[in-house]
Amino acid sequence: MTDAAAPLDARRAAAQPDAAIVTDAVPVARTALVAHTGPVGARHGWLVLHGILQRAADFIRPWARIEGREGRRVLAPEGLSRIITDFETDATGACWTTMPDRDIEMRDAFAWLDLCWQRLEVEAGDGARVLVGFSQGSIVAARWAVARGRVFDAVLLWGGVVPSDVDAAALAACSRDGAVHIVAGSRDVLADEERRAKQYARLEAAGVRLELTTFEGGHRLDDATLTSLAATLEAR
């Protein structure tokens, strides 16, 4: 079919300039998911953020099995965006943000994390407060901590780095010891030696102290490392 023979409505639609198309961001109420482990009333409280395409109920499993779990209340909010990762099994993953709509998704994620933090403050006692972000979750954790100005016993960026749009000194101030805490696997392909060197140089240039914890492994959590960090942070 030639352009001249195309239906009139189709020709009119094709002729409309992009400027005539407007997209509005409309806040809506929705249902979010949060996984949790450890008894309500446990002394210590942890807020832990999963990585891209993970689910909160799977991500939180290490906290359900490591030593000291009876004294630790852990909440794992799930990212608000989800996608099917396997069409045969309907396996689904979640994520926190995408580049084109980052500002909108960060606003929603921050509001969601605020609610989870309020819940954690009620459900945990007067012990340590630890914020953990893994992979993409580390980016959200760093941005949220700085945006809200909250102080934790530590903000742990696991398998991630300080986002370029986050002031490293401001992030360090969110941990009681005034350091940026990074946890990295020795074979983490997403945080290789070159990327880590650039990150450490940036922190050094900003005059920020780095607390680096490494373990033998790749881009994953590690039970032994998590157990050791928990014991250290909760003993302070």
- Domain assignment present for residue 188? The answer is yes
Percent share of the chain, pLDDT over 90:
72
Given CA atoms 39, 140, 196, 186 in this order, what sign does their dihedral have?
A: positive
As a whole number of angstroms, the distance between CA 158 and CA 204 comes to 19
Residues near 195 by Cβ (< 8 Å), separated by ≥ 6? 161
Pairing of strands 154-158, 179-185: parallel
Which pLDDT does position 7 carry in this prediction? Answer: 54
Percent share of the chain, pLDDT over 70:
92
Q: Which two tokens stand for residue 94?
A: 């979640």
- Domain assignment present for residue 8? The answer is no
- Domain assignment present for residue 18? The answer is no
More confident residue, 87 or 74: 74
pLDDT digits (tens, 9 = 90+) for 176-228: 999 999 999 999 988 777 888 888 888 999 999 999 999 999 999 999 999 99
Q: What is the CATH number of the domain that holds 146?
A: 3.40.50.1820
What is the pTM for the complete model shown?
0.89
- Domain assignment present for residue 124? The answer is yes
Report the chain's mean pLDDT, rounded to a whole number.
91
pLDDT at residue 71 is higher than 80: yes
- Domain assignment present for residue 6? The answer is no
pLDDT digits (tens, 9 = 90+) for 22-58: 989 898 888 999 999 999 999 999 999 999 999 999 9
Which pLDDT does position 41 carry in this prediction? Answer: 98
pLDDT digits (tens, 9 = 90+) for 81-102: 998 988 989 899 999 988 888 8
Which of 17-26, 81-90, 114-123 shows the lowest per-residue confidence on average (mean pLDDT)?
Answer: 17-26
- Domain assignment present for residue 165? The answer is yes
Q: Which two tokens stand for residue 12?
A: 């009119």
- Domain assignment present for residue 55? The answer is yes
As a whole number of angstroms, the distance between CA 146 and CA 162 comes to 11
As a whole number of angstroms, the distance between CA 9 and CA 213 comes to 62
**Domain range enclosing 84:** 44-234
Q: How many separate domains does the chain show?
A: 1
- Domain assignment present for residue 12? The answer is no
